[in-house]
Amino acid sequence: MSRILHSTEGRLALITIVVFVLMAALSPERFLSPQNLTSMAFQFPEFAILALAVAVAMLTGGIDLSVVGAANLSAVVAALFMANVVGADGGAGMVALAFVMALCVGLVAGLFNGVLVATLGLPPILATLGSGLIFTGFAIAMTGGSAVMGLPSAAAWIGNGTILWIPVPLVVFALLAAALGWLMSRTSFGLKTRMFGANPLAARYAAMDTGAVLIKLYALCGMLSAVAGFIVMSRANSAKADYGSSYLLLAVLIAVLGGVNPYGGYGRIIGVVLAVLSMQFLSSGLNLLGVTNFAREMIWGALLIAVMLINTLAKRRTS
């Protein structure tokens, strides 16, 4: 037990469980109802995937504030393709093609960030703030600001379908989280990412291909954003430049709550997953209790600070 409490993730897991139990205790028949559990499972994957992207960027000591912009731009491009070229009766193959297009847009957006950060040396926080505005701007310019509709019904599956009663978005998120966790801990790319985050100068002196690592990393963030954008599009049956605008702060909050060090070098995907879950439990639980959504925001912030305080005090105690 005390071993568990010694790690950031261990404490976070405990917090997640406490939140779950608390919410279940406060409104047992509603919180634990199958509808509520499914509803939660449908809700969180979209911002959870964005949080994964932000977390991955933070591992390098950077940040990606353009995730929402990239997500919407990818979704808008895919939606325009489906609405105008494919039409409402397009099949799964066409939707898959649109998905690939979204991924490509995300990739290009990510590469753009990567070049800004790695090649031109912009501070990531400003580079991605600026590029995020540009991505959103392109999405607005392409759509005139209104929603793109008329998607084929096959497109609804990824956001609303289920596989063996498990929501597809949840499956996508689980696969992505597992793949990222594996990528970050078991591959040379992941290790390089974290080593770079820990000390960029030493990474260069160790003849690490730092530029390539960063560019690949931001490209990865862009593609994750595109997946999130596609899910949002599918769930909304439309794409628009300003969907999910409140997700950015939430994604950053989750990444940090998940124990990712925003100054680089430390962070684990499992932490992000736990943070996402505790946020969702809190959020849905409070909604069931009829607590206003503003209080929810306050509780999130307080939770973040509380976790940081606990981590710091725990570290002080051990040293």
Partner 1 sequence: DAHAKQMATVVKIDGIAWFNRMREGVDEWAEETGNNAFLVGPAQADPQQQVALIEDMIAQGVDALLVVPMSPEAIEPVLGRAMEQGITVITHEAASQQNTQYDIEAFRNEDFGANLMDRLAACMGEEGEYAVFVGSLGSQTHNQWVDGAIARQEEAYPNMTLVGDRNETADDQQQAYARAQEVLRAHPNIKGMQGSASTDVAGIGLAIEERGLEDETCVFGTSLPSIAGQYMETGAVDGIGFWDPKIAGKAMNAVAMMVMNGEEITDGMDLGLEGYGNITLDGKVIYGEAFVDVDASNMADYDF
Partner 2 sequence: MTDTSAPLVTLEGVTKRYAAITALSEVDLTIRAGEAVCLAGENGSGKSTLIKVLVGVERPSAGRILFDGVPQTRLTPTAATRAGMQVIFQDFSLFPNLSVAENIAMTAERATGARLVHRRRARERAREVLDRIGVDLDLDARVERLPVAHKQLVAICRALAADARLIIMDEPTTALTEREVARLLDLIRRLKADGVAVLFVSHKLAEVLEVCEHVVVLRNGEKVADGPAETFDAASLTRAMTGRDVAETPPEPLDPSASDLLKVENLTKDGAFRDVSLTLRAGEVLGVAGLLGSGRTSLAKALFGLATPDSGRVTLDGTDVPLGDPIAAAGAGIGYVPEDRLTEGLFLEQSIARNIAVGRLEAHASGGVLNLRDLWEEAAEWLKRLSVKAPDPQAPVRSLSGGNQQRVVLARWMARQPRVLILNGPSVGVDVGSKAEIHAIISDLAARGLGVIVISDDLPELLGTCHRILVMKAGVITDEVAGGEGITEDDLSHRLAS
Partner 3 sequence: MKSFDWARNEVLVFGVIVAFCVLAAVSDPNFLSIPTLIDLMRNGIVLGILAVAAMVVLVSGGIDVSFTAVAAFAMYTTTVILRDVAPDLPWPVAFAVATAIGAALGAINGVLIAVFGLPTLIVTLGTLSVFRGFLLTFVGTVQISNLPSGMRDFSRLMMIRGTNSDGSFYSLPWAFAFLVALVILTWFILNRTMLGRSIYAIGGAPESARRIGIDVTKTQMFIYIYVGALAGLAGIIHASTARIANPFDLVGLELSVIAAVVLGGARLTGGVGTLTGTLLGVALIVLVRNSLIVIGIPSTWQSVTIGALILLGTGLPAWQAKRAEARAA
Please give the residue ranges that form the binding site for partner 1 (CB under 8 A). Answer: 30, 33, 35-36, 38-40, 42-43, 46-47, 140, 143-147, 149, 156, 159-160, 232, 234-238, 240-247, 283-284, 287-288, 290, 292-294, 296-297
Contact 208, 195 (CB under 8 A): yes
Residues 171 to 230 in contact with partner 3, rule: CB under 8 A = none
Contact 311, 12 (CB under 8 A): no
Q: Which residues contact 141 (CB under 8 A, 6 or more apart)?
A: none
Partner from partner 1, partner 2, partner 3, none contacting 146, C-beta within 5 to 8 A by type: partner 1
Partner from partner 3, partner 1, partner 2, none contacting 33, C-beta within 5 to 8 A by type: partner 1
**Stretches 35-43, 158-166, 202-210, 221-229: which one binds partner 2 (CB under 8 A)?**
202-210
Give the separation between CA 79 and CA 91, rounded to whole angstroms: 14
- Pick from 165, 179, 221: nearest CA to 42: 165
Of 50, 107, 203, 228, the one binding partner 2 by CB under 8 A: 203
DSSP code of residue 260: -
**Stretches 188-196, 236-244, 245-253, 282-290: which one binds partner 2 (CB under 8 A)?**
188-196
Binding status of residue 201 toward partner 2 by CB under 8 A = yes
3-state DSSP call for residue 230?
helix
Q: Sign of dihedral through CA atoms 200, 208, 205, 123?
A: negative
Of 262, 264, 265, 271, the one binding partner 3 by CB under 8 A: 262
Of 144, 205, 290, 318, the one binding partner 3 by CB under 8 A: 144
| Cα within 13 Å of Cα(148), Cβ side | 32
Binding status of residue 126 toward partner 3 by CB under 8 A = yes
Binding status of residue 7 toward partner 2 by CB under 8 A = no
Give the separation between CA 133 and CA 143, rounded to whole angstroms: 15
Q: Tokens 């405990």 appear where? A: 14
Query: For residues 182 and 263, which CB has a smaller minimum distance to partner 3 in the complex?
Result: 263
Binding status of residue 192 toward partner 2 by CB under 8 A = yes
Residues 213 to 272 in contact with partner 2, rule: CB under 8 A = 265-266
Structure tokens at 209: 């291909």
Give the separation between CA 198 and CA 188, rounded to whole angstroms: 15
Shortest distance in whole angstroms from residue 42 CB to partner 1: 6
- Pick from 25, 156, 148, 182: nearest CA to 91: 156
Shortest distance in whole angstroms from residue 149 CB to partner 3: 19
Binding status of residue 281 toward partner 3 by CB under 8 A = no
How far, CA to CA in Å, does 134 sit from each of 36, 188, 199? 37, 32, 30
Residues that bind partner 2 (CB under 8 A): 186-189, 191-192, 194-195, 198-199, 201-209, 265-266, 319
